[in-house]
Amino acid sequence: MKTLFQKIADREIPAKIVFEDDQCFAIEDINPQAPVHILVIPKRVIARLGNAEADDAALLGHLLVSAATIARERGIDAGGFRTVINSGRDAGETVPHLHVHLLGGRALAWPPG
C-alpha cells in the first residue's frame, strides 16, 4: 500500500510541489507552523529515521542539502531556518515515510514542543 507521499510523488494526489529532482521532492505543508513550512521527501521510502541504515546515508544527506537549497530560494537562509525529522508516534510522526520539515520566516522558539 502506498503512503500519502508516494501518491503525491506519483501525481495521484495533488500537492504544491516546490522542488523536485531524481531523489526527492518538496511540498508546502498543509498545516504550516511557520511562514515557510516545506516538507522535503525522498522518493525512496524509508519509514522513519529509526529504520534508516548505513546505505541510506547519501540520501539523508541529500535531503538536508535540498532543504538548504530551498531555504536559499525562499530567502530564509540569512535569518536562519530549522530542519526537523520526526521519528515515531511520540515525536509527532503522522506519515510512515521519512521527511524533513523545513521551517523559517520568523524567529522560532526553543525548546520546541
Other C-beta atoms closer than 10 Å to the C-beta of 88 total 13
User: From start to end of the chain, where are the E strands?
Assistant: 17-20, 24-28, 36-42, 81-84, 100-104
Q: How far apart are CA 1 and CA 79, in angstroms?
A: 40
Residue 97 annotated as catalytic: no
Between vectors from CA 5 to CA 89 and to CA 75, what angle results, nearest 5°? 95
Catalytic residue among 37, 97, 99, 101: 99
Report the catalytic residues: 99
